[in-house]
Amino acid sequence: MTNKKEMTAPNVSVGADTEQSSQNLIDNSLTDFDPNFKGGDEMQREILRMMDPSYLKTVSMSELLDNVYQSKPPLVDGLLYRGTYLFVGAPKLGKSFLMTQLAYHISTGTPLWNYPVRKGTVLYLALEDDYRRLQERSYWMFGTAENESLFFSVSAGQLGSGLDEQLTNFLQEHPDTSLIIIDTLQKVREIGGDNYSYANDYQIITRLKTLADNYSICLLLVHHTRKQQSDDKFDMISGTNGLLGAADGAFLLTKEKRTGNAACLDVSGRDQPDQRLHLFRNEETLAWELERVEKELWKSPPEPLLEQISAFLSLDRKEWVGTPTELAAHLGVDMKPNALTRRLNVNAGRLLNEYGIRYESSRSRSERTVKLTADQA
C-alpha cells in the first residue's frame, strides 16, 4: 500500500515565478486580510464585557469555521473514540475478557480484528477481580508477552472519595495514556450513589466525562443490563436514561444462548455510526474474534484537497509557510482564500490522522498565514 506521505510533486517556489500573475496575487491577497482582527483597545473592552456575570459567551457560524479545533484521533478507527462510553452486558458474559483484549491491543498498538489501532498507555481498573485471576486471564489470552504500557489495579477509591485524585495522578504520571477502563461503574459510584434518579445518573457520567475530555482520553465504563427486555436494546442498560444521555456512546454485548460462544456487540455513539459486530469466542485463547460486521464501518467521504496538499508537501519539503492565496496558487485550485482556510480548519484533524500533516493557521492585522508541517513521527 502506498504511503500517502511519500507522494511527490514538483517543488514550486513561492513568489513571482509562479504562473499566476502578480496583479492577480495582489487582488486575491486582499482577501487574506482578517476583518475580524481586534486591536488592543477592542480586546480590552471585550474582556471587560466577558467578566460581566450576565455575559453569555456565543460563537457565530463564521467564527466557528474560522477556528482550528484540536483533533481527537480515534483509539480504534471506526469503533472506539475519545470520550466517555458505557460497555454494557449481563453478568458473566465475557465482558472482562473483551476488556482485557481491548486493553492489550491498544497498549501494544496491535490491530484489533484488522481495524487500525493507535498505541497508548492503558489503565484497567478490574475492581471485581484479583491479581491471580488477572494473571491467568492475561496468560490464557496472550501468553508471556512483555507489556510495559498496560497497568492493572484491583482496588480504587470512589467518586468524591479518592478516585478523582487517583486517576488525575495516574494521567499526570503517564501523559501518553489514551484509555482507562473502569470495571465496573457500580464499584466507583460515590457513597449514597445508589439513588437511581435521572439527575444522579447524569451527574455521575458528566463528572467522569469532564475528566476524559480534559485529558483527551477514552473512559470506558463497564456496566450491567437489567433483566427486562426492550425493543431498543440500549433501554436495557441498568439505571436511568441519564447514564446514556450523558455518555458519548455505548457498547452492548448480548448472547442468544448464555452457554454459546456467539455474541453480538451493538455500538451506538456520537462519533461513530450505529453498527452491529458478530463475535465468536475462541475456546482455546478465550479471546473474542470477529465473524462479520452487519453494517460496514463508516468512512469519511473523499476530500481531494487533502490529497493535493499531501502531494504538494513532498518528502523533500517538510514544511511550508505562506498565505492562503499563495497556497491556492501552488495547489492550482479555483477557491477563494477564505474558503480554502475554512475547509482546512474543518479537516485539520483528518489531514493529521490520515496524511501525517500538521496544519496551523494564524492571523495578524495585515494577513492570515498558513503553516503545513510533515509529522516526523
Q: Where are the beta strands (DSSP E) in 32-112?
A: 83-89
Lookup: cell for 188:
466507583
Higher pLDDT, 182 or 355: 182
The predicted pLDDT at position 122 comes to 98
Residues 224, 236: Cα–Cα separation, whole Å: 9
Mean pLDDT of 260-266: 90
| pLDDT value at 3 more than 50 | no
CA dihedral 260, 150, 243, 194 (to 10 degrees): 90
pLDDT at 296 over 60: no
Q: Which residue did the predictor score with more confidence, 59 or 174?
A: 174
pTM over 0.85: no
What mean pLDDT is reported for the chain?
A: 82
Per-residue pLDDT at 315: 61
Average pLDDT over residues 141-170: 93
CA 343 to mean position of chain CA atoms:
20
Confidence band of 23 (pLDDT split at 50, 70, 90): very low
> pLDDT at position 232, please?
59
What pLDDT is attached to residue 231? 55
Maximum Cα interatomic distance, the chain, rounded to a whole number of Å: 76
Stretch 124-144: mean pLDDT: 94
Residue 18 has pLDDT above 70, yes or no: no
- C-alpha span between 279 and 267 (Å, rounded): 13
Counting residues of the chain whose pLDDT is more than 70, the rounded percentage is 81
Tell me the C-alpha distance between 120 and 109, whole Å.
7
Three-class secondary structure of residue 263 per DSSP:
strand
Which has more confidence, 170 or 330? 170
121 exposed, middle or buried (CB, 10 Å; 0-12, 13-18, 19+)? buried
Share of the chain above pLDDT 90, in %: 42
Query: Can you give the pLDDT at residue 78?
Result: 85
pLDDT band with cut points at 50, 70 and 90 for residue 125: very high
Query: Sorting pLDDT into bands at 50, 70 and 90, what band is 288?
Result: very high
Look at residue 197 in the predicted model and tell me its pLDDT: 80
Q: Is the pLDDT of residue 192 over 70?
A: no
4 pLDDT above the threshold of 50: no
Interval 11-27 mean pLDDT: 39
Rounded to the nearest 10 degrees, how much is the dihedral formed by the CA atoms of 77, 202, 190, 166? Answer: 30
At residue 290 the predicted structure's pLDDT band, cuts being 50, 70 and 90, is: very high
Total residues found in the chain within this entry: 377
pLDDT of residue 57: 86
